[in-house]
Structure formats: C-alpha cells, structure tokens
Amino acid sequence: MTYGDDMSHAHQARIMARAFKYWSDAAPRLNFANTNNIGAADFRISFGRRTHAGVSGERQCGHPFDGPGRVLAHAYFPSDGRIHFDNDERYTETGASSGWWFWKKESQSLLYVAVHEIGHALGLKHSNVKGAVMWPTANKGAPTLHSDDINGIRSLYG
C-alpha cells in the first residue's frame, strides 16, 4: 500500500482495514489479511496523481485521474486487484463539507470511497439503487451497506 498526503499512514491503514471489514461482515466467507508481500497480495492500494502507477513494480495505469473533483478513485476486477485513489483529492476519514478545511471546502470520505472501490475489486458493479454504497456517486460520512450491496456481495461469495 502507498499512502495519501492527508492523514498519517497508520490512520489510513486503519481506515482501509475497516473498509475491508464492511465486506467480510456482509459475506463471512470473505477473509482479508494484510501482507507486505506485494507478489502475494490479492489487492494493491495506492494513491497517485493524474497519470500514475500503483505500488512498487506496477505498470503505468491506463486511466489517469482528473485532479480535484469528479473521479475520486478506481479499482480493477478480477484480473489484478488494483485500487487507486486520486491524491489530488482532499481525504478525511468520513469527509466534510466546508468548515475548517479553509484551503479546500470539500473533503472526501476515504472510508466511503474505499468501501465502494473494494466492492468493485471484489466484482461488484455500480448499483442502480440510490443509497447503496455501490451507487455511482460517493457520499459523506461512514457508509452503511444497503441490502442491494449485501445481496450483491453474497451472490458472489455466499
């Protein structure tokens, strides 16, 4: 895992562990463990700007980010489990609208975006159910898996 600029590495690692737990709680046959062995990892998480590569040794990503706003992250299934976050975004754990981030009025919820992108890396597509975590646009705050999200992940993993 590589890290973004907005929070400590330890805080980001805790957020990612929490994000994976949403899915393992919904589908108990899923089991995730952290590893420092990139070759053994099923998922590789990285932060980058514009044209970017992933973690050490990954090829250049063919989907450049657009800077602040719009595209927050992307993930790949099933071939390689890459999850990329746009490091030009301002991330906090659960996002904020205006207030003390005076240099940028919006921050994105790293937890919400991570749960959504991990869903893609596990094989879920965008949902057509507004309020589902897999709905195409991100929300602020801590996510709550919708029954559509839960049914989708259970259809893939039991």
Phi then psi for 83, rounded to 5 degrees? -130, 115
Residues 6+ apart with CB under 8 A from 91: 4, 6, 7, 85, 107, 108, 109, 110, 113
Phi then psi for 45, rounded to 5 degrees? -105, 130
User: How many whole angstroms separate alpha carbon 36 and alpha carbon 112?
Assistant: 24
Known active-site residue 106: no
Annotated binding site for Ca(2+): 6, 42, 66-67, 86, 89
Annotated binding site for Zn(2+): 52, 74, 84, 116, 120, 126, 134
Annotated binding site: 6, 42, 52, 66-67, 74, 84, 86, 89, 116, 120, 126, 134
What residue spans of the chain are helical by DSSP H?
9-26, 110-121, 147-157
Residues 6+ apart with CB under 8 A from 24: 30, 31, 32
Residue tagged active-site, from 58, 93, 106, 117: 117
CA 128, 66, 111, 18 torsion-angle sign: positive
Among all residues, which ones are annotated catalytic?
Answer: 117
